[in-house]
Amino acid sequence: MAKLNYVFTSESVSEGHPDKVCDRISDAIVDLYLSHDPQARVAVETLATTNQVVLAGEVRGPDSIKADQLVEVARAAVKDIGYEQDGFHWEKMDVKCFVHSQSADIAVGVDAAGNKDEGAGDQGIMFGYACRETPALMPAPIYYSHAILKSLAEARHSGAAPQLGPDAKSQVTLQYIDGKPMRATAIVLSTQHAEGLEQDAVREIVLPHIVNCLPEGWMCDDKNLYVNPTGRFVIGGPDGDAGLTGRKIIVDTYGGAAPHGGGAFSGKDPTKVDRSAAYAARYLAKNVVAAELAEKCTIQVSYAIGVSKPLSVYVDTHGTGNVDEDRLSDVLQQLVDLSPRGIRTHLGLNKPIYARTAAYGHFGREPEVDGGFSWEKTDLVGDLRNAFL
């Protein structure tokens, strides 16, 4: 039997967190290649430390894209985040590029040829999840953790909070009663700030953003609100701690409220099922919940490298569903072709839409006119209801 009364915590990190800086750079490079060739293959990792950025990985795309363009993309990403500090500055940082051509062995297994459809770019398991805890059908702790940091980032970029720096982390602990989130029992907010800004002043700046992002009456008491608990956070970003692409995968997904397959998203083009199949699994789970076939839904898909069709499609409605889960799995596979090509076609993933995903979560966002966050659409609701209701 599922536990109904408990407290649960999720964290988020801002676009200026060292790992998120790296995710942003890697995804900006993915966008660069896809903007030149929608069929480009990209798997690029980024490392960042004090005034140093290192790019490494494999690509298959236009020869016209040279290393100096990748370096400029990295600088532009860091500039947009807002780093102009002594220890990490978009213009002064040294950028080394070790990006090279994709392995021919991988290409042979993945490419379509003759009667063979395009195969998965790697083996692996991917999960999608949705629940009724928030309007975006996301778990509440991660949803509000993201919202707080996004609000602070918007204030920083607009000039409303000029004394805050790009690096920040949030953590929201919620109390669940009868399986539903009711209030925050603790909130942690750490944000980089200008030299000389005292802890109480930081608290005064961030408090309205926290209160305004939570539902009315959910705010924790003052003693359980921790703002910059170490007292000082001037040195931050890659100058304070090295960053790597793909090191915040739980922040990227469901904040630990649902399983994660282990593969990172950023830096990978959508032929990599680590990314595209995780998006598809979220899309299917969200549509199941939006169609009111279940209060919550977890979907797992699995793949073998070079094989087009998924090896398995598992559906779990956690005892909240009103339809047969095996039949639901069959219906979902009838509605969406879950081969790598089928996912990319259905969701329109071969577009430069990925840099925007690098911070504040890949899920729970609004679908955008140019195809961004297409996996958040609920356009299967009618078909699902017709199949079951």
- Annotated ligand binding at 45? The verdict is yes
- Annotated ligand binding at 264? The verdict is yes
Side-chain half-sphere exposure of 225, counting CA atoms within 13 A: 16
Active site residue 45: yes
Q: Name the catalytic one among 80, 111, 117, 241.
A: 241
- Annotated ligand binding at 17? The verdict is yes
Active site residue 66: no
Q: Name the catalytic one among 75, 156, 247, 260.
A: 247
Q: Name the catalytic one among 24, 75, 156, 248.
A: 248
Active site residue 260: no
- Annotated ligand binding at 169? The verdict is yes
- Annotated ligand binding at 286? The verdict is no
Q: Name the catalytic one among 23, 27, 45, 316.
A: 45
Active site residue 20: yes
Is residue 36 packed enough to be buried (19+ CB in 10 Å), middle (13-18) or exposed (0-12)? middle
- Annotated ligand binding at 268? The verdict is yes
- Token reading at 80: 């947009």
SS3 state at 112: coil
Contacting residues for 109 by C-beta, under 8 A, at least 6 apart: 119, 305, 306
Active site residue 377: no
Phi/psi of residue 256, nearest 5 degrees? 90, -5
- Annotated ligand binding at 19? The verdict is yes
Report whether 231 contacts 207 (CB < 8 A).
Answer: no
Q: Name the catalytic one among 274, 295, 316, 376.
A: 274
- Annotated ligand binding at 344? The verdict is no
Active site residue 248: yes
Cβ neighbours around 211 below 10 Å, total:
14
Q: Name the catalytic one among 272, 275, 286, 346.
A: 272
Q: Name the catalytic one among 8, 20, 150, 161.
A: 20
CA distances from 246 to 67, 120, 243 (A): 22, 20, 9
Q: Name the catalytic one among 233, 265, 363, 373.
A: 233
Strands 52-60 and 164-177: unpaired
Strands 225-227 and 243-244: unpaired
- Annotated ligand binding at 156? The verdict is no
- Annotated ligand binding at 58? The verdict is yes
Active site residue 247: yes
Q: Name the catalytic one among 107, 155, 186, 242.
A: 242
Report whether 129 contacts 258 (CB < 8 A).
Answer: yes
Active site residue 150: no
| Distance, CA of 5 to CA of 2 (rounded, Å) | 9
| Distance, CA of 103 to CA of 119 (rounded, Å) | 15
| Distance, CA of 240 to CA of 40 (rounded, Å) | 34
Q: Name the catalytic one among 15, 19, 239, 269.
A: 19
Q: Residues forming the annotated binding site for Mg(2+)?
A: 19
Binding residues for L-methionine are 58, 102, 241, 272
Catalytic residues: 17, 19-20, 45, 58, 169, 233, 241-242, 247-248, 268, 272, 274
- Feature table: binding site: 17, 19, 45, 58, 102, 167-169, 232-233, 241, 247-248, 264, 268, 272
Binding annotation for ATP = 17, 167-169, 232-233, 241, 247-248, 264, 268
Mark the binding-site residues for K(+), compressed into ranges.
Answer: 45
